[in-house]
Amino acid sequence: MMPAKPINLKLLVLCLASILLASCGLSSPPFPVAPRTSSDPLPSFKPANKSSAQTGVVEPDKRSAKPVSLEQAIEQGEPLSANQIRVVIVKGTISRKLAENMRKLLAGNTVPDPMEEPIPGKLIVLLDSKGGDGMAAMEIGRFLRRNNAHVFVTGECSSACVFLLASGVVRGAPSFSVGIHQGRITMSSDAGVIKREVDIQEDPKAKALLAQFERDAKVYFAQMGIPSSFFQAMQNHTTKGVYRLTGEEITFYGLSGFEDAYFEKRVLFYAQKKGKWALDKDELHRRTAKVASECASFEQKQVDYINCYRRVLTDRY
């Protein structure tokens, strides 16, 4: 049987001038590091080179009529079919339109049993976004969590993007690639460019909206297994720009790691394997923690990212 025809979408995110709610921020970090702002150099990741948002899936091999298995595709370096492993790229502004397109893209996706997912996982989401609509980001994040998404930052993940990162049952980000700031309300252009920040002291309605958003954000992070200290740290960062998290802070706040129940099932999955895939609990955790930094440069070629992810899982060092 031929592999299912994949969906390959390029989404241009257009936001009508509206109130965008984005929550992110940090102050009083638990580690003795100097504060960083959006103007500081970011040594550990490649900045975005496109302003649009797009998603994509791995293309099947169109040159051959003979279908290949997952293992064959990986070993031979051939592309994978969309029904085996799906890679979705989120690039650019997060908006309600992006949330709608993500739902459509993954509408037919079957939620996998962690004991039956392929290696390294069924759904991989790669992030490169400066943020956008916080409410839309939480909606997308809940959808990704239901689909057991492995979420990694390959470029930048700032502002509302952290809601997507937090949603991964497996998640990771290179040092200084995550930027956070206090929740705020802004007005944006159709292209998602912020025109101005709304002064909540002069706009009671905006103040009420922000208060509700902050309550929703607390609940969301709790549902995702992120410690409450992360949201509090976000709220404490009131200055302009974003604070860049160190690698230690990313781990401390749970933005690198696993969802507990999913992790336990994957531990059992790998315990049943033989040879290079026979990983114990500590090996699985340690090796997966290296994926974000080791594989960030493979964002443009999704099969290469999958290959890198798998290679890191077999690396003993």
pLDDT band at 307 (very low <50, low <70, confident <90, very high): very high
> Mean pLDDT of all residues in the chain?
75
Beta carbons within 8 Å of 105's beta carbon, 6+ residues apart: 7, 9, 55, 88
pTM (predicted TM-score): 0.73
Q: Domain tally for the chain? A: 1
**Residue 259 predicted with pLDDT over 90:** yes
Q: Assess if residue 119 is contained within a domain.
A: yes
Neighbours of 77 (CB within 10 A): 9
Identify the weakest region by mean pLDDT among 161-165, 174-178, 186-190: 186-190
Q: Assess if residue 315 is contained within a domain.
A: no
DSSP secondary structure string for all residues of 220-237: HHHHTT--HHHHHHHHH-
| Chain segment 150-169, per-residue pLDDT in tens | 999 999 999 999 999 999 99
| Chain segment 24-51, per-residue pLDDT in tens | 322 223 332 333 444 443 333 333 333 3
pLDDT band at 105 (very low <50, low <70, confident <90, very high): confident
Query: Which residue has better confidence, 208 or 10?
Result: 208
Q: Assess if residue 283 is contained within a domain.
A: no
- Supply the pLDDT for residue 183: 64
Query: Rounded CA gap, 198 and 191, in Å?
Result: 18
Q: Assess if residue 146 is contained within a domain.
A: yes
What percentage of residues in the chain have a pLDDT greater than 90?
Answer: 49
Helix/strand/coil for 77 = coil
**Residue 19 predicted with pLDDT over 90:** no
Q: Assess if residue 156 is contained within a domain.
A: yes
- Supply the pLDDT for residue 62: 34
| Chain segment 79-98, per-residue pLDDT in tens | 444 458 999 999 999 988 99
Asked if 36 and 243 count as a contact pair (C-beta separation under 8 A), the reply is yes
pLDDT band at 201 (very low <50, low <70, confident <90, very high): low
- Supply the pLDDT for residue 202: 61
Q: Assess if residue 266 is contained within a domain.
A: no
Asked if 135 and 213 count as a contact pair (C-beta separation under 8 A), the reply is yes
Cα 204 to chain centroid, rounded: 33
Q: Assess if residue 1 is contained within a domain.
A: no
Token pair of 67, please? Answer: 């279908």
As beta bridge partners, residue 125 has 88, 151
Q: Assess if residue 280 is contained within a domain.
A: no
Angle between the N-to-C axes of helices 134-146 and 204-223, in degrees from 0 to 180, rounded to the nearest 10? 20
Provide the domain limits for residue 233.
19-258
Integer CA distances (angstroms), 215 to 183, 208, 308, in order: 11, 11, 38
Give the CATH number of the domain where residue 58 resides. Answer: 3.90.226.10
Identify the weakest region by mean pLDDT among 218-227, 236-245, 307-316: 236-245
| Chain segment 55-77, per-residue pLDDT in tens | 443 332 333 334 344 444 444 44
Which range among 164-168, 296-300, 303-307 has the greatest average pLDDT?
Answer: 164-168
